[in-house]
Amino acid sequence: MKRVNAVIVGAGAAGGIVAKELATAGLSVVLLERGKWYTANDCRKDDLRNQRTTVLGNAFGPEDEGNPRVSVDATGVAQIVLPSEGSYSNDAACVGGGTLSYGAMAWRYLPQDFRMRSIYGAPAGSSLEDWPISYDDLEPYYEKAEYEIGVSGDYSGTPFHGPRKRPLPMPPLPPNREFEILEPAAKRLGLHPFHIPMARNSVPYNGRGPCMRCRWCVGFACEVDAKNGSQNTVIPTALATGNCELRTECMVREILTDDRGRARGVAYFDANGHLQEQPSDFVVVSACAIESARLLLNSKSRLFPNGVGNRYDQVGRNLQGHHYTGATGYFDFDTYDDVGPGASIAVADYNHGTPGLCGGGMLANEFIRLPIQMVDQMPVNTPRWGLAHKKAMRSVYKRNIALMGPTQEIPTADARVTLDPTVKDKWGMPVARISGNVHPHTFEIGAIQAKRCEAWLNEAGAISTSLKIYKPLIVTAGQHQAGTCRMGEDPRASVVNRNCQVHDVDNVFVIDGSVHVTNGGFNPALTIMAIAYFASESLVRNWKGTGFRS
Amino acid sequence: MQSNSKAIRLTRRQFVAAGAMGGAALAAGCNATNHGGWDFLNDAQAQTLAAISDQIIPADEFPSASQAGVLTYIDRQLARHYRRHRDTYRDGLAQAHAMSNERYGRDMAALSSTQQAELVSAIEHQNRKFFDLVRNHTLEGYYGAPRHGGNRDAVSWKMLGLAEPPVRGRAQYDLGKGPAS
C-alpha cells in the first residue's frame, strides 16, 4: 500500500478535524473509521434503536454482536457487557463519531477547569491535576471550532464564561416553553440563565439550512442536516482537497513500530475482514478515550511489551466521564410544546465557588423525552406498572420538566481501561476491560447539584419533584469518556505532551478526549474539537517532511 | 375487566383481529411477515404472557398492552434482538403457568383480573428478573414506535396527545420501515 504522511484512526469529532487540517496543509492522509458513513437519509426516528435509547441496539454502532467489553464493578464482579448496555460506556462508531447523533451542546470549559488541582488541591486518593495548557492557550481554537463547525447560542446572560474575542456565529433558537418557565425562576433565585450553545444551525450556515425544531434530536441523526458534526463539515472539506482518503468499516488492530521504536504505520482489518498494512510517516489515534487506550495497549512489540506509550503504566488510567444528577419537577400546567431540540436553558453559576466542593457543573433542562424515555420518570410513589402507571403517563407526560447537569468528576488512577485477558472481539483482539471508579467526592457534589435543580424547579412552580441522585458502582464514562491518555509534562505521570504527542514515540499522537486531564462540568465535544485544532496546528508547524522538529 | 374475556384462548390470528378494532388495514400489514403463527412463542405461552402484559398496561378508555400489539413486539424481538432473553421467558412463563394452576387450579388467562393482578405481584417478588424483562418490554412495545409491531396505530402516542406522524423534514424516508443501520 502506498505510504502516506498520516494515518488517522477514527473519524469522529477530533479525527475529522485533524484530517481536514492536515489535508488542507498539503499532507497526505488516510482516515480510517471502523463504522459506516450515514447521512440525513439514514435518520429513521426509531425511538427504540438510536444512540440514546438502545433497547433494540445502537443505530450508529457498534453492533451488539462481536463487540463486547468487560465491566468490573466495585465489588470485583466482572461481566461481559454489550454496546447497548449502560456499563459498556459506548460512543457511536461511524463517520462523525458521536457528533452525528449527539445533542450538540457546544461548551467551552471555564478557565478554572484547566487548573483544578491548583484551585482545590487533590482530594486524598484522587489524581486531580492541572492541565499543561490553559484556557487562554485554547481560546483561539475554541473560536475556530465555533465558526468552522457552526455554533448557535448566546452567552450574554451569564458572567460565568472565559474571555472570548468574538460572539458565537449564530443567534440562539427562539426560546421554547421550558425556557420561558425556567428563566424568570432562575433570575428570582439570583442565578444567570442563558441560551445553551449548540452545534446546530439556527439560521442557514455553511450551506445548510436551520433546525426545523422537530422533537427527535439527541440520539438521532438530523434529518434536515441542521446539526453540525465532523461528518457534514470538516470531513467533506478534507476529502475535497484530494489529499485525504476516508476508508470506512476498517478496524485498526495495532500501531506498527520499527526497530528504532518509531511508528511505521498501522495494521487494520478492512471491510471484508482482510488484514491490511498502511505505512505512514506518523499515526494519529482519535478513537475516543476507551478505544484509543485499547489500541495503544494492543500495540505490543519487543520494544513496547506493554503497548505504545505505556512505559510507565499510564495508558488507560484516569478514565472519567460525567456524573449526571438532577431532578424532575411536576406541574399543574402544560410545560411541553413539542418543539425541539428541547434543551434550551442553562446556568453555570454552580460550576465553581461553593466552599467545600471541588467544582460542580452546569445545570440545564433535558432534551425532549419521547414516551419510552418517560416510563421511569414518573412522580415518587407511582407504581411501576398497572393502571396507575398508565394514568400517570397520561397526566404527567406534558406536565414535567427535567433539569440535570454533568458534575465534573474527580479522577482517580484506578478508574481505568486495561485489556481483558480472555475476552476477544470479532476480529480476535483483546477487548477493553473497564474497572474502578471516580473519587467519591464526585457523588457528594452530584447530590448537591440535584438539590439545586430541585430548588430551581420549585421556584418555577413545580407541585412536586423527584430527585435523581445516583452512586454508580463503576466509572460511568459514557459518551463523555475522557482522560485515558492524560496530557502532561512528566512522562512518568502522563501519556502525551501538551501537543498531544506520545512521550516516548515522537511520531504517534493521541488527539481526542483521551488527553483531557479533567473533563470540565460541561459536555466535552467542543473542547475535543478545540484540542484537535490546537494539536493539528503544532503538528503541521513541526512537520519537516520526513520527521518532527524536536 | 372487559379485556380478559377476550384474551382467553386466542390464537395468533385472532389476537391480531382482536386488536384491529379501528385499524384493520394496519393489522393486516403487521401480520404480513408472520406465517400464521408466532416467531418464538407458542399459543399457550402467548396467553400467559398476554395476561401478564395486560396487568402491566390494562385497558381503560385506551387499549391494553395486548390489544395494542405488545405481544407481537415481544415475540418478534425474542426472535431477533432479544434472543438472549429466550430462556428467561421460557422459564418465567412456565413458572407463571404453574403458579396459576397451583394457586387457582386454572390457567392464568382464565383468572379474574383481581386474581391475575395478585399473581403478577407474586411473580414480581419471586422472579424479579423475568418480571422486569416483561415489564420493560411491555412498556417498549406499548410506548415505542409502531414499526416494531407494538403501539398499534400509534395508540399510545395519541393517548399522550402527541403528533402522529411526527414533524417531518426534507428527507421523506418510510417511517414504517426498520432501521437503516
Question: pLDDT value at position A135?
Answer: 98
Question: pLDDT value at position A550?
Answer: 62
A212 touches chain B (CB under 8 A): yes
Picking from A217, A337, A385 by the largest number of B CB atoms within 10 A of its own CB, the best residue to mutate is: A385
**Residue in chain B nearest A383 by alpha carbon:** B56
A65 touches chain B (CB under 8 A): no
Picking from B56, B139, B155 by the largest number of A CB atoms within 10 A of its own CB, the best residue to mutate is: B139
Domain ranges of chain A: 1-39+93-102+229-314+486-550
Q: Phi-psi bin for A539: left (phi > 0), alpha (psi -120 to 50), beta?
A: alpha
- Measured at the CA of A545, the angle between CA A543 and CA A546, to 5 degrees, comes to 100
Nearest alpha-carbon partner for A341 in A368, A362, A363: A368
Q: Do A385 and B55 touch (CB under 8 A)?
A: yes
If pLDDT is split at 50, 70 and 90, which confidence band does B17 have?
A: very low
Question: pLDDT value at position B163?
Answer: 78
User: Would you report the helix, strand and coil content of chain B in percent, each value rounded to 5?
Assistant: 65, 0, 35
Question: pLDDT value at position A5?
Answer: 98
State the nearest Cα–Cα gap between B14 and chain A, in angstroms.
24
Considering CB atoms only, which of A47, A61, A386 is closest to B56?
A386
Name every residue whose Cβ is closer than 8 Å to that of residue A83 and which is 6 or more positions away in sequence. A54, A57, A58, A61, A62, A63, A64, A67, A90
Q: Do B173 and A398 touch (CB under 8 A)?
A: no
Selected residue with higher pLDDT from B18 and A453: A453
Considering CB atoms only, which of A215, A372, A389 is closest to B144?
A372
Selected residue with higher pLDDT from B174 and A348: A348
State the nearest Cα–Cα gap between B64 and chain A, in angstroms.
10
Question: pLDDT value at position B26?
Answer: 37
Considering CB atoms only, which of A223, A374, A387 is closest to B171?
A223
Pairing of strands A275-285, A4-9: parallel
To the nearest whole number, what is the mean pLDDT of chain B?
Answer: 82
**Alpha-carbon distance B50 to B59, whole Å?**
12
Considering CB atoms only, which of B120, B145, B169 is closest to A46?
B145
Question: pLDDT value at position A187?
Answer: 98
**Residue in chain A nearest B81 by alpha carbon:** A56
Interface of B with A (CB under 8 A): 55-58, 60, 62, 77, 81, 117, 120, 135-136, 138-140, 143-145, 147-148, 156-157, 159-163, 166-171, 173, 175, 177-181
Q: Give the 3-state DSSP-derived string for A77-99, with helices as H, strands as E and coil as C.
A: CEEEECCCCHHHCCCCCECCHHH
**Alpha-carbon distance A453 to A442, whole Å?**
17
Chain A positions in Cβ-Cβ contact with residue B160 (cut-off 8 Å): 371, 393-394, 397-398
- C-alpha cell recorded at residue B31: 401480520
Considering CB atoms only, which of A56, A223, A372 is closest to B169?
A223
Chain A positions in Cβ-Cβ contact with residue B130 (cut-off 8 Å): none
Q: Do B181 and A60 touch (CB under 8 A)?
A: yes
Chain B positions in Cβ-Cβ contact with residue A223 (cut-off 8 Å): 168-171, 173
A38 touches chain B (CB under 8 A): yes
Q: Which amino acid is at A383?
A: P
A80 touches chain B (CB under 8 A): no
Asked if the model's pLDDT at residue B123 lies above 70, the reply is yes
Asked if the model's pLDDT at residue B12 lies above 70, the reply is no
Question: pLDDT value at position B173?
Answer: 62
**Alpha-carbon distance A344 to A225, whole Å?**
19
Q: Which regions in chain A score pLDDT beneath 50?
A: none
A249 touches chain B (CB under 8 A): no
A388 touches chain B (CB under 8 A): no
State the nearest Cα–Cα gap between A212 and chain B, in angstroms.
7
Query: DSSP for A32-95?
Result: E-SSB---GGG----TTSSSS--TT--TTS--STT--EEEE-TT--EEEE-TTSGGG-----BT
State the nearest Cα–Cα gap between B81 and chain A, in angstroms.
6
A61 touches chain B (CB under 8 A): yes
**Alpha-carbon distance A372 to B144, whole Å?**
6
Query: What kind of fold does domain A1-39+93-102+229-314+486-550 have according to CATH?
Result: FAD/NAD(P)-binding domain (3.50.50)
**Residue in chain B nearest A84 by alpha carbon:** B81
Considering CB atoms only, which of B55, B169, B171 is closest to A386?
B55
Chain B positions in Cβ-Cβ contact with residue A375 (cut-off 8 Å): 139, 143
State the nearest Cα–Cα gap between B141 and chain A, in angstroms.
9
Q: Do A387 and B60 touch (CB under 8 A)?
A: yes
Q: Do A223 and B170 touch (CB under 8 A)?
A: yes
- C-alpha cell recorded at residue A4: 502516506
Considering CB atoms only, which of B139, B145, B163 is closest to A338?
B163
State the nearest Cα–Cα gap between A233 and chain B, in angstroms.
19
Angle, helices B128-143/B113-126, rounded to nearest 10 degrees: 120
Task: Report pLDDT digits (tens) over B142-169.
Answer: 999 999 999 999 999 999 998 777 776 7
Chain B positions in Cβ-Cβ contact with residue A338 (cut-off 8 Å): 162-163, 167
Cα dihedral: A289, A292, A296, A297 (round 10): 60
Predicted model pTM? 0.93
Task: Report pLDDT digits (tens) over A418-471.
Answer: 999 999 999 999 999 999 999 999 999 999 999 999 999 999 999 999 999 999
Question: pLDDT value at position B176?
Answer: 65
Query: DSSP for A129-158?
Result: ---SS-HHHHHHHHHHHIIIII-EEE-TT-
**Residue in chain A nearest B167 by alpha carbon:** A214
Picking from A34, A37, A42, A44 by the largest number of B CB atoms within 10 A of its own CB, the best residue to mutate is: A44
**Residue in chain A nearest B140 by alpha carbon:** A372
If pLDDT is split at 50, 70 and 90, which confidence band does B25 have?
A: very low
Name every residue whose Cβ is closer than 8 Å to that of residue B110 and which is 6 or more positions away in sequence. B8
Q: Do B178 and A46 touch (CB under 8 A)?
A: yes
Q: In whole angstroms, how far apart are CA A213 and each of A173, A180, A397, A402?
A: 9, 16, 19, 19
